[in-house]
Amino acid sequence: MPLVTRMKLLPEINTLRGVPVVTKTDLIRAGVLAIALFAPPAYAQLEEVVVTATKREQTLQEVPVAVTVTQAATIERAQIHDLNDLQSVVPSLHVLQEQTSTQTNFEIRGFGNGANNPGIEPSVGVFVDGVYRSRSAGAIGDLVDVERVEVLRGPQSTLFGQNASAGVISIISKLPEFKFGGDAEVGIGDYGFKQAKARITGPLADSLAFSLAGSYEKRDGYFNDVNTGRKTNDRNRWDLRAQLLWKASDTFTVRLIGDIGKINEICCGVSMLLPGPTVPLIQAIGGKVYTGPFFDRKADYNYEPTNSLDNRGVSLHLDWDVDAVRLTSITALRQQKLDFTYDADFTSADLANDFNDQHIRTFTQEIRLASNKDGPIGWMIGGYYNDENVTYNNSVLQGADFRNYATGLIVGAGGSPLTLPGLETSLGLPVGTFFGQGQGLTVDTTQKSKASTIFGQIDWKFAERLKLTVGVAYSTDKKDVAISQADTDVFSSLNLVNIGFGGAFAALTGLPPTPANIATHPAQAGLADFLSVTPCSAAHPPPGCNAALGLYPLQFLPPVVPFADSSNDNQATYTTRLAWTATDNINFYVGASTGFKATSWNLSIDSKPLPPATMDRSPLGGFPNPYYGRYGSRFASPEKSTVYELGMKSQWQTAVVNIAVFNQAIRGFQSNLFQGVGFYLANAGKQSTKGVEFETLWKPVPAIELALNGTVMSPVYDSYPNALGPNGTVDLSGQRPAGIHTMILDPAVTFFWGQDSLHGFFRIDGEFTDTDQLVDNIPKSVASQKVSTLNAAAGFSVSGWDLTLWARNLTDDQYLLLAFPSVAQSGSVSAYPNQPRTFGISLHRKF
């Protein structure tokens, strides 16, 4: 008899035998009861979470701010190794690893920028123990010695300064303890994964305690370089963090923190997403281009991309209680040195090579006074100062195969009678002048900035259950920027409009192309303009076309115009919130806040001035046509953000439900779009999004914890007339911005079990999104992203030992991280694939 049939007949059989009838409902109830009885009492109810989102300690449920807190227990159970993994539990947070393992972009509610371009501070501010990390590379170390991570959504410029216009990620580490203890963890996994973490803490004297924590992680690469046989996208990094805590008295505390982290990795692998018409030519000159299935994670390079990061800093924290006032001072000095190289064309042909050297030194000082006694009025005033120096050197040099490649492009251009030797001879240059190995462009940039903010906030409890919060800040930011260049790329310095125009005009008219002839010849009506912009093709054969314009794709390194300039911005921001404690379990709040980020300068190799309002298109005039790459983006003006928000926070013994409804906009959003070797930096007139966020946690029985977090929103470019699209600048006004999901869901289920001294858990969580266009300058049909990822972990604890098995991207979900037009390969698109499934096991010991 089939098993299902036997189960259906079981009640009748039992009745005939005199056995009490057991239904499926009874079995479910019994199972739940068994789980509840077997579970340890430690999981009986949800714990209260304390946060410092408003720079004073409050419970998560009473703070009237949209904030998500990830505690150390979740970080350990979910095996969240760094901030890249954090997005699997924080739905409004999107973390994107880009060009190198040290270039990470953080976005909150779809707003964020700054990765890769050293002139731009991210719109999402990252703080570690109250110290600002001005670039993403300074914030991507392993999460070691961490107590919790708070993600504040929406502009936070009033309390966190001018570079928090989209939100804040605040990482809080554990304090040293006056009782000796610590923990250690080792782990192994696939791809040769090895990890070790340790922390030790204890007293040095009655009032002095220390902690020392470190981590080491190494893993082989999962991306295959077919040409060299090497693996890329490996992990090789370590972090060390030391703290001293001196409780000089009951009212005066000193905390000294020092940290150092290093990364030395081969990353990041790029594959050909869309092979273009240049692929056969690269193969013809002896190069290889991997055109197999994209998620094979394979490519052909002539050398591996390398990343080297040295990140270190020290901070001094003082807290002094004087009567009813607390004085807090945080002084910090940080240094970041980053070197990375990569094969810019991402083929085995030696076409273009990119070398980068970046050094950032940052000094910050924050002082604030705050009331620290209970009462109807609480207040805080303070000031913040930031002094930073950035130096950046970027060289893009042509390789040994580029001249042959350029020659092949000219031959295959169709309709172009020009050849490289013929062009060199006609210009009086020796044959072989163009595209010699090592020719290229080297750009040296410096940026010195000084920023300051004064701020104040008042919390007034004017009724038993009503509290009004009003805050205001005034920020100033001055930047001095200089760019110089060493240009040895002779070909990119040519004015192809002028070179091709003269011959075409003479062939058509029989007259020399002098200004007088061009101005007076009867055929000149529209001719000069036509020949300035029309390359030769089958539709426009010679002589009625400009043959030289077909060579423009070879000018992928147009000269940078050296300059020295400065920006000086100032802006007031505010926040106002009304909080209502409806019941002991339910709180509501409504508020509005503004944010500000100062002018950002484009320090990439694509930094160029914008074209004049009136462009002289004459080939003999002062300006070449902007279509041919002489103009771009030098800087982006300040961005100003506003959010209107209505929220509910509720917590009972076994459940939490938090909801935030928001309408957020950024005027002048600083869009920073990667183009392969540099960036197009521009202001969107206005970008906005409306949506709802929710966080739910439920423990129906002590042994089961269910969570569902999510975001649903509708982003739009309200105004963006000068966006960079697939075929040049376009008007994206009214369109959905690329790279922003309109729906994100993060479910999680955790089962706990235990008996006597043996306890364990099983957790599975995931991230699910809709499909979105990946970047504005690549069509959605070519590059889109949809995430459907599951992670899992299971572990047990006995006598202080914890053993955990984990897997990330359990279902081996495949999606794109970033796409861009392939360098010097018109019609091709390159892209970065996501990380495949990984798994491992870790052993943890507390003492």
Give the per-residue pLDDT at 23: 44
Give the per-residue pLDDT at 675: 67
Distances (CA, A) of 679 to 98, 115, 670: 13, 10, 12
Residue 390 confidence class, pLDDT cut points 50, 70, 90: very high
Give the per-residue pLDDT at 83: 77
Question: Of 141-155, 334-348, 758-772, which range is least confident?
Answer: 141-155
Give the per-residue pLDDT at 14: 40
Q: Is the pLDDT of residue 524 over 60?
A: no
Give the per-residue pLDDT at 43: 40
Residue 160 confidence class, pLDDT cut points 50, 70, 90: confident
Instruction: Tell me the whole-structure pTM to 2 decimals.
Output: 0.85
A 10 A CB-CB count for 694 gives 17
- Please give the Cα distance from 431 to 410 (Å, whole number): 16
Give the per-residue pLDDT at 280: 92
Instruction: Please compute the mean of the pLDDT values over residues 600-621 and round it to a whole number.
Output: 58
What contacts 64, CB < 8 A, 6 or more positions away? Answer: 467, 469, 577, 578, 579, 587, 589, 591, 647
Give the per-residue pLDDT at 164: 85
Three-state SS at 707: strand
Q: Which residue has the higher pLDDT, 294 or 520?
A: 294
Q: Which residue has the higher pLDDT, 45 or 187?
A: 187
Three-state SS at 36: helix
And the tokens for 636? 């982006």
Give the per-residue pLDDT at 522: 57
Q: Is the pLDDT of residue 638 over 70?
A: yes
- Please give the Cα distance from 498 to 192 (Å, whole number): 58
DSSP letter string, 268-290: ---EEEE--TTHHHHHHTT----
Q: Is the pLDDT of residue 183 over 60?
A: yes
Q: Which residue has the higher pLDDT, 562 or 584?
A: 584
- Please give the Cα distance from 392 to 794 (Å, whole number): 45
Q: Is the pLDDT of residue 591 over 90?
A: yes
Using an 8 Å Cβ cutoff, are 154 and 591 in contact? no
Of all residues in the chain, the percent with pLDDT exceeding 90 is 51
Residue 701 confidence class, pLDDT cut points 50, 70, 90: very high
Q: pLDDT by residue (tens digit) across 128-142?
A: 999 998 877 666 666
Q: pLDDT by residue (tens digit) across 116-126?
A: 778 888 888 88
Q: pLDDT by residue (tens digit) across 230-241?
A: 899 999 999 999
When computed from its CA atoms, the radius of gyration of the chain, rounded to whole angstroms, is 30
DSSP letter string, 652-694: -SSEEEEEEEEEEEEEEEEEEEE-SSSEEEEEEEEEEEEEEEE
- Please give the Cα distance from 626 to 724 (Å, whole number): 13
- Please give the Cα distance from 186 to 198 (Å, whole number): 9
A 10 A CB-CB count for 180 gives 11
Instruction: Please compute the mean of the pLDDT values over residues 9-38 and round it to a whole number.
Output: 38
Give the per-residue pLDDT at 381: 96
Give the per-residue pLDDT at 726: 66
Give the per-residue pLDDT at 636: 85
Residue type, 801: W
DSSP letter string, 110-156: TB---SS-TT---SEEEEETTEEE-SGGGG-S---SEEEEEEEES--
Give the per-residue pLDDT at 526: 64
Residue 618 confidence class, pLDDT cut points 50, 70, 90: very low
Using an 8 Å Cβ cutoff, are 461 and 377 in contact? yes
Give the per-residue pLDDT at 30: 38
Distances (CA, A) of 671 to 676, 715, 790: 16, 14, 31
With vertex at residue 239, the alpha carbon angle to CA 233 and CA 244, rounded to the nearest 5 degrees, is 165
Residue 202 confidence class, pLDDT cut points 50, 70, 90: very high
Residue 177 confidence class, pLDDT cut points 50, 70, 90: very high
Q: Which residue has the higher pLDDT, 524 or 386?
A: 386
- Please give the Cα distance from 257 to 5 (Å, whole number): 67
And the tokens for 603? 């320090």
Give the per-residue pLDDT at 762: 96
Using an 8 Å Cβ cutoff, are 183 and 846 in contact? yes
Give the per-residue pLDDT at 253: 97
Instruction: Please compute the mean of the pLDDT values over residues 242-255 and round it to a whole number.
Output: 96
Q: pLDDT by residue (tens digit) across 446-475?
A: 999 999 999 999 999 999 999 999 999 999
Among 52, 59, 83, 62, which Cα is nearest to 159's?
52
Give the per-residue pLDDT at 670: 85
Give the per-residue pLDDT at 34: 35
Mean pLDDT score of the chain, rounded to an integer?
84
Instruction: Please compute the mean of the pLDDT values over residues 149-155 and round it to a whole number.
Output: 90
**How do 838-846 and 325-343 pair as beta strands?**
unpaired
And the tokens for 27? 């079995």
Give the per-residue pLDDT at 672: 78
Among 499, 285, 301, which Cα is nearest to 408's?
285
Q: Is the pLDDT of residue 2 over 90?
A: no
Q: Is the pLDDT of residue 1 over 50?
A: no
Query: What is the 8-class DSSP label of residue 633?
Result: B
Residue 39 confidence class, pLDDT cut points 50, 70, 90: very low
Q: pLDDT by residue (tens digit) across 719-742?
A: 988 777 666 678 889 999 988 999
Give the per-residue pLDDT at 336: 92
And the tokens for 244? 């001293």
Q: pLDDT by residue (tens digit) across 708-718?
A: 999 999 999 99
Q: Which residue has the higher pLDDT, 98 or 198?
A: 198
Q: Is the pLDDT of residue 642 over 90?
A: yes
Of all residues in the chain, the percent with pLDDT exceeding 70 is 88
Among 447, 477, 456, which Cα is nearest to 377's?
456
And the tokens for 200? 């030790």
